[in-house]
Amino acid sequence: MSKKNITAESLFDLYSVANPNLSPAGDRAVFVRTHMDKEENKYVSNLFHADLASGQVTQWTYGKNRVSSPAWSADGSKIAFLSDRDGKNQLYVLSAAGGEAERVTDFANGVSAFAWSPCGKKVWVNGAVKKDKSFTDKEEEKKDKNPEPVVIEKMKYKADGLGLLPQDLFRQIGIVDLESEEVTQFTEGDHQYGLNTVSPDGKKIVFSVNRAENQDFEFRGGLYLADAESKEEKAIIDQDGYYGGAMFSPDGKKIAFIGADRRLENATHADVYVYDVASGSLTVLTESLDAPVGDLVAADFQQGTETPAAVWAGNDALYFQVSVMGDVRLYYATLEGELYPATPENEHVYGYDVTKDGKTALITASNPVHPGELYAQEISTGERKALTSFNAKFIEEHEIAKPEPIVFKGPKDWDVHGWIMKPAGFEEGKKYPLITEIHGGPHTMYANTFFHEFQVLASKGYGVLFVNPRGSHGYSQEFVDAVRRDYGNGDYQDIMAGVDYAIENNDWIDTERLGVTGGSYGGFMTNWIVGHTDRFKAAVTQRSISNWISFFGVSDIGYYFSEWQHGAVMDDVEGLWDISPLKYAANVNTPLLILHSEKDFRCPIEQAEQLFITLKHMGKETVFVRFPEADHNLSRTGKPNLRIERLDQITGWFEKYL
């Protein structure tokens, strides 16, 4: 039986399995499964339970809403989770013996995070509270809803995915008593508190906060240890950079967390830190590792991938993710200095938990030909057992193209890593077009993970080249930093060297039918490429940057991103213009499709508007497609129908010109 091609609509047939969470005894687990509902045009996720001994998997929640953040009570009798089934995310508690989940909060602005108190009778919560109000105070619905102006006094006044930020909402921490349903607010003031964790004896909590009055030039999130009764607090770390994901060791004597300082601004590798509660000493556990801690993958498939920053195995060892050479692997480290990978190469571990003895890991993992499932892995032997098979039928029925890893030399004789994917149904002796894909960031990475868009292109008869040029994460600190103050130079040369390498080593590539596409930074680079070479016969730029001068003032991150990445502020108009693709519009001879989201606040749509009008005014071949109700993350989390349309626009453009 011939296998089916993967299409844009295949997204509706796939399941994302994520967020595994082990019971305290380590014999059972819960996880979240998400799929795209075509009829409802939305994402639906539900809670599932797995018995590790029998391998039996049971669906525990139903309905057409989202669930997230499942967590067991300390005695294993209950599971709490967040769900938007009543509109905003609220906290629900479900008995581990089964039954109906009970909603335990009715907060005006929902719940963003929570942590069980070890007693199992209380839950610490995080949620937005209006100034001078409480968690549960709700605004009266106005009968006549007239538009009201918004007064802006701060530069950090908007955010992609959120829109204009409310000026009078502050994230606070509180405690919910499950028996009395009483809610007590723990923090106060006009600050944004982030709940991290609760100590094993329930007497202390860790939270993040920056109490500076003007946050416009504050790029730090300190961590604090507070007494649950007296509220007396002590700084764990309070310096430039972002720190979070704190977790107490089982004996409560140490706190592990991850963070990155600002030595190289947003290009700095993240590390694992360990804080000694008694002495106040701080150790960087991953100091010898020249790779970033965490999952830095650029992909388009996985949903609901909440992962712990680190998980303790006993009181003197930790597990955590590391992005390295196109993989995301689980690493093991002891407080004495041992450090090594605990999962194999050539895959993307995008979710995990570990038993208290450190012997068994529960992971969700994907690779380039597998969308991902839930596995139990014995750490010492590497033996792995699949607990779910939601995508097995899809894999069996569809032809999935397998990328081949490549390594080539860029400028400075640096090794650059990437992959090349032959078209589905590849036939020897036949010539095929090649599309080069460029990731965003630039500080992310392509990886050994399932990428639906690449599979769609391969199924349409295209080869796909995707590389990690300088600036990409997963490699050395020098490599990730090398793109800063050098946009359009070394990174451009790395990408073009990848194209040259692919052509030299694959005689099936038709050099007269080359295409290029990318989003965000990849959109900038697509714009840059077509302004500097005519090698590509068609290009698609997505959520792109065309003018760094206007980007400075219109992006939610523009006024500091430009300084971090280019070393340039608005008084360096000439410097910003020199690296703006718009400057080179007259050189563009490649037919260019421009895709952009109406509600993109990261790379606002005016960037696309400037590019389109300029090219059109010059008589260039270009089309502009605007996506309503979509933000910067259209390709990853956008409305299902718009994601399908986006892919159809891309493949339609390449079909027309290649």
Cα angle: 457, vertex 463, 465; to 5 degrees = 100
- Which residues, at least 6 apart from 213, have a Cβ–Cβ distance to it below 8 Å? none
In-domain check, residue 570: yes
> Residue 86's pLDDT band (boundaries 50, 70, 90)?
confident
DSSP 138: -
In-domain check, residue 624: yes
Check residue 341 and give its pLDDT.
96
**Whether 632 is catalytic:** yes
Q: Which of 35, 83, 632, 635 is catalytic?
A: 632
> Residue 7's pLDDT band (boundaries 50, 70, 90)?
very high
In-domain check, residue 617: yes
> Residue 138's pLDDT band (boundaries 50, 70, 90)?
confident
Of 480, 474, 476, 413, nearest in space to 449 by CA: 474
User: How distant is the alpha carbon of residue 18 from its chain centre?
Assistant: 13
Q: How far apart are CA 79 and CA 114, in angstroms?
A: 12
Tokens representing residue 362 in the block: 């529960």
220 vs 112, higher pLDDT: 112
pLDDT digits (tens, 9 = 90+) for 41-51: 999 999 999 99
> Residue 1's pLDDT band (boundaries 50, 70, 90)?
low
In-domain check, residue 381: no
**Whether 49 is catalytic:** no
Q: Which of 199, 520, 580, 597 is catalytic?
A: 520
In-domain check, residue 164: no
Over pLDDT 90: what percentage of the chain?
92
| CATH number of domain containing 524 | 3.40.50.1820
In-domain check, residue 595: yes
Overall average pLDDT of the 311-325 stretch:
97
Tokens representing residue 28 in the block: 């059972």
pLDDT at 364 exceeding the cut of 70: yes
pLDDT digits (tens, 9 = 90+) for 11-47: 999 999 999 999 999 999 999 999 999 999 999 999 9
Tell me how many domains the chain contains.
Answer: 1
Overall average pLDDT of the 143-166 stretch:
90
pLDDT at 63 exceeding the cut of 90: no
Q: Which whole-number Å values give the CA distances from 340 to 343, 365, 475, 650, in the listed order?
A: 9, 19, 16, 41
In-domain check, residue 449: yes
- Which residues, at least 6 apart from 504, have a Cβ–Cβ distance to it below 8 Å? none
Overall average pLDDT of the 74-102 stretch:
93
Check residue 2 and give its pLDDT.
86
Q: How far apart are CA 8 and CA 644, in angstroms?
A: 5
Overall average pLDDT of the 652-656 stretch:
98
Q: Which residues span the domain enclosing 538?
A: 409-657
pLDDT digits (tens, 9 = 90+) for 493-529: 999 999 999 999 999 999 999 999 999 999 999 999 9
CB 541 within 8 A of CB 531: no
pLDDT digits (tens, 9 = 90+) for 95-127: 998 888 999 999 999 999 999 999 999 999 999
In-domain check, residue 392: no
CB 225 within 8 A of CB 203: no
pLDDT at 68 exceeding the cut of 90: yes
Task: Please state, rounded to an integer, the average pLDDT across all residues of the chain.
Answer: 95
